[in-house]
Structure 1
Amino acid sequence: MKTGETHPSGRGTSGGSVTRSGVTMTLGLCFAVALLEGLDLQSVGVAAPRMAREFGLSVGQMGLAFSAGTFGLLPGAMFGGRLADRIGRKRVLVISACLFGLLSIATALVSDFHTLVIVRVLTGIGLGGALPNLIALSSEAVEPRSRSTAVSVMYCGIPFGGVIASMIGVLSAGDTEWRHIFYVGGAGPLVLVPLLLVFLADSKAFTQASRDGQAKPAPVGEILFGGTRGLSTVQIWVSYFCTLIVLYFLLNWLPSLMAASGLSRAQVGYVQIFFNIGGGIGTLCIGMLMDRMRSGLVVAGMYVGIIASLAALSMAPGF
């Protein structure tokens, strides 16, 4: 049997990919988790004006509430990725989904600002723990030449989750009700967990390393800066930092800024919906281009597009 052919068991030989149904199942489940992660990430921005009225939040307090979840993403991603090297990507993803699902529901139950900040930090830890494992599972499910496309298919779930959050905001009745969006965002991951346990295959790389007795992760410094990776690591850090500044500013503050400028609640929701639709389409297109063109050229073009879009947004006269 040649490398790349499917074994009768359906797993594929060494160096080959899993069956097409297995790839579809893995990417579908990872997309579903990313969808719910995007729903939770953008729920605070959608609910913010109503939360501010109920809790009497100042602009500074709203900023702290927004950043609390983002702050939790950092330790969550670092700890989640490291833990996955020891116990497996699937296990950590299930734990993370349970964590951010339960804490999203807890967000709906808070009664004061300080509790809100604490709960959002913990929610961010769960969200952060899920993301590196979603990327790893998606990229390992396909052949190397298709990895950028596979990751983009998974990752577009995040902006499409934002579409759901925005639609809930548009359809919700009244100017004070905001808790239902967190109930929806919390119930989804908990419903999905049994499906992950039954149908999601674990990382092929982790399974092979465990079988060979090599599951102990390498030192972080070696992973990030070993060989010729140092400059690339710094470049990725800087670009990701700058991109996320723009992204989280738009996700968290754009609804409040638009509402303050006189747009109706429905108009604010529609702008957010189309912002996220554009994000999903962009993710898919850029991922496919990364598999077909020089990555540096694609990324440079992406940043030119970001600058042009922000300039256009700043000059937009109205809805």
Structure 2
Amino acid sequence: MSTVKPSSGEQPVKLLHVTTVLFCFIFNMLDGADVLLVAYAAPYFSEHWSVSPQSLGLIFSAGLVGMTIGALFIAPFADVFGRKTTILLSTSIIAVGMILSSLAPNVETFIGLRVFVGLGIGSMLASVTALASEYAPPRYRNLAVTIATSGYALGAVVAGVVAVNIIPLVGWQGLFLYAGVVSAIMLPLSLFFMPESTEFLLARQPRRALERVNRVYSATALPPLSTLPPQIEDTKKVPGFTKLLSPTYRRDTLLLWGAFFCAFMTLYFLTSWVPKIAVDAGLPKEKAIYAGATFNFGAFVGLLLLGWIAARLSLNMLIAVFFGIATLVMVLFGAVHTPIELFFVEIFSIGFLVQGGFGGLYAAAARQYPATIRTTGVGWALGAGRFGAVFGPYLGGLTIGWGVGLLGNFIIFAIPIGAAGLIMLFLKGEQAEAGA
């Protein structure tokens, strides 16, 4: 038996690798659905409660506020108590919040519950990113993270299709109830069948760590350990952002924050305004929802393709290429009058490039930090990005109100996605070693 963590550079893909990444994919899919359900249900609960436009804006913002707080202040606990524990906590928050949302008696309670659900979603995204990264052979880690991340986009597509068919039958309350029940079903499944990260177990060494590590090693064709390696980091404190800004990580942390902020800014402008852009392009209002679904389906395909290529080429360069082409496509989309027949092709292409490249940011963030602060690093990168997510749609509303036109808006929001691509060219490309 070995006394040190084995090298797994040529480790084959085993069933446990696949099922763990599948769990991460499903959790991201549920998150994507939970985020978008409120947009799809908005016309119905707006009529039910006579919601003013100002209150509707608060409902949309409430989820983002909760997601930001969850990413910044709950996700770091995964670096002390485990990825699995935090995912279970996040899923419980989401399940309870969605079920209670279906019973909300007024808009004020509903807004509070959107913040609560957002806490679970924000902490979940960082935790599943870390787990997917740590549960794949090194050669396939970028692919594993992008596959897991693609669940978010697919969840948004599925949510739209389900909402269109379910709300007329059971109302918007039934839609939220079903979403909460599905999340609750994932709790026992993940409790019994989803493993903990071995990198976390080796770095933090909780009770029965050696036994749990060797059980996973046995299932993934790695030789067992006779003893645990020496602990390097303090295992008692929850890592904070000061650790991320230490001399070792400061440069890459600030670059990541900048890339996430810029990418979120463009992405959330697009996701917020694509339906209106579709109407302006001549699409009937009742079909505008399919523009959002097309955008997210393009994102799903783009994520998978980027992850597959990233198993062979430089991830940072691929992200820069995706964002660079996206910049050009957005400008062309605004400059050239698009026949309605080609509108969906262009929306698909923009989703493919923008959100496809965006998914690569998760993998890039996960590999910048050792296991002891990985979820903290991803969480704070997401938290920094959420400020861009808030600012992007707000700025979009201002620019549309100023009458800058389609070309002006797409030039304005092509700039940050292009900037994110440039930032990635300066980000360190080597993966941080666990426990470093």
Deviations 1:63-116 (A, max 9, x none): 221111111111211223221122111011001001111101222222322112
Partner of 1:67: 61
CA positional deviation for 1:58:
2.9
Partner of 1:51: 45
Q: Which runs of 5+ in 1 are unaligned?
A: 5-12
Contact 2:79–2:239 (8 Å) recurs in 1: no
- Give the TM-score taking structure 2 as reference length: 0.64
Corresponding position: 1:282 with 2:302: yes
Cα distance in structure 2, aligned partners of 1:3 and 1:311: 56
CA positional deviation for 1:173:
5.5
Cα 1:160–1:107 shift into 2, 3 Å = same
CA positional deviation for 1:46:
1.3
CA positional deviation for 1:62:
1.9
Partner of 1:33: 27
Corresponding position: 1:248 with 2:268: yes
Partner of 2:319: 299
Cα 1:169–1:313 shift into 2, 3 Å = farther
Aligned to 1:178, the other structure's residue is in SS state: helix
Cα distance in structure 2, aligned partners of 1:103 and 1:316: 42
Corresponding position: 1:15 with 2:15: no
Partner of 1:127: 121
| Equivalences, count | 310
Corresponding position: 1:165 with 2:186: no
The residue type paired with residue 302 of structure 1 is F
Cα distance in structure 2, aligned partners of 1:93 and 1:119: 19
Cα distance in structure 1, aligned partners of 2:67 and 2:285: 32
CA positional deviation for 1:60:
2.7
The residue type paired with residue 104 of structure 2 is V
Q: Which runs of 5+ in 2 are unaligned?
A: 206-229, 344-436
Q: Bigger radius of gyration, 1 or 2?
A: 2
Contact 2:75–2:127 (8 Å) recurs in 1: yes
Q: 2:245 aligns with which of 222, 225, 237?
A: 225
Cα 1:237–1:222 shift into 2, 3 Å = same
Contact 2:88–2:187 (8 Å) recurs in 1: yes
Cα 1:249–1:169 shift into 2, 3 Å = farther
CA positional deviation for 1:139:
0.5
Partner of 1:99: 93
Contact 1:49–1:256 (8 Å) recurs in 2: no
Aligned to 2:260, the other structure's residue is in SS state: helix
CA positional deviation for 1:22:
0.8
Cα 1:299–1:23 shift into 2, 3 Å = same
Cα 1:115–1:251 shift into 2, 3 Å = farther
Contact 1:71–1:124 (8 Å) recurs in 2: yes
**Matches of residues 113-262 of structure 1 in structure 2 within 5 Å?**
113-172=107-166, 174=168, 177-211=171-205, 215-217=235-237, 219-221=239-241, 223-255=243-275
CA positional deviation for 1:29:
1.0
The residue type paired with residue 40 of structure 1 is D
